[in-house]
Structure 1
């Protein structure tokens, strides 16, 4: 293969998968491209997931994709080397003893194949793996290996982003459904930013969702309560004993202040902890 041919493969693949918004479509297209260009007999992806993610995805079948826990990684030596060690693993499989039991179950236990495992890396950490399978004794030269590594890592990160977006979207919709009948505002805060706000929160604050998402959450809090609310937010994420209900003065878009009472708790959001707040306008209560 010539370098230009490899370059064209990479560009065509990136263009094809970057316009697809669901993980099954991304992986189907990638598997087809890798099969036609490299002659791969199969391509599977693994994504590391915690217990909450495993529960969420358990009833969703996605071709070419398997969620894997940290415990499962530890039980399959080859996968541990790929994801935790970020190694490229190539194994010529002639018999059952050439792979661990867990790896045989993962690829279907097919004899007389070459298995190529490639890490998917994000921010310096292994978040998954791409496992390609070739019939017979298939050598992989350095140029092909580099191209496969690049393609698998790009596709793996794209799939991870889409999965997290779907997870976050469904969590937000679930919480919004729970509180909408109360007419209460709801926000989810992570990394000091509002990641989700429902329509009632837009009405309460006067800001659009885009405006709420654009600034640190504490900029919507009156200076008189800002330090206290920041401290409560930080302590809650650390697991400290913090009250679940309390109020604060917030700043509306019209620059008026509104007294807000809230109920706060920790929720998993995109694979990490976040704070969910259910809020109501209690200004009139102070006037009574």
Structure 2
């Protein structure tokens, strides 16, 4: 092939590779996938004593990559956090004084370290890692809302990493049935306090890795490491609107590598914004959460960002 024709051929490849981004007015670092996911697991969890939303797990493919939605999780019973409040397991204390903390198992990070107790409420799901070691996962991936208590033994300084997931009923679309709408975007939120004085706040770092639903890809803005969907509509312009999702590859060492402490700072949200005033799993332990100084945190968009990784170093 002559150089002139080779250059033209390579140019055609480049144009084809970028056609998706140009056609859809998106030139960011995420990978765009159109439509719903292929459901691999219909439902991770069913509440034996009440109603629970379906918690499906699916996959979406693009550019020779496969993404698990809403997230790839370690949802195994041996990792389940101890229930602080969980109506599905019959644990429903009215306050912390009714909780026997002595029964909470201690996960050893450092055998000679301090035992730290943590109180966690997630909308909807969390995985907690300390110095890269999995300490606990949320036993209820979606609903009904629950809260958890954990203990771990560690020396300072130490690194906290959290995989926080806003689950979805409509796999790969970031939506759920709500307020009479079958495809209503949900919202996230995460709050935690620890007995060594550590609390969630805007000093933590947050990065999104799965954003949906997106109806106009031109609304997503990136500046440095910030991936912002704050300008995106949270409902379709018409019932037949096409849904897109954005995905980013998760770094293997995100739980411990200090370079991920350069992620954007987390955004704080009020209790009213998260909507917890009618949730006993939170309100019965409000002193342990907001009362301790902890704040609800997430990325800049609690509605569209469905998989958010959090990092914080405790000195």
State the TM-score, normalized to the length of structure 1.
Answer: 0.22
TM-score w.r.t. length of structure 2: 0.21
Query: Greater CA radius of gyration, 1 or 2?
Result: 1
- Between structures 1 and 2, the one with greater strand share: 2
Structure holding more helix per residue: 1
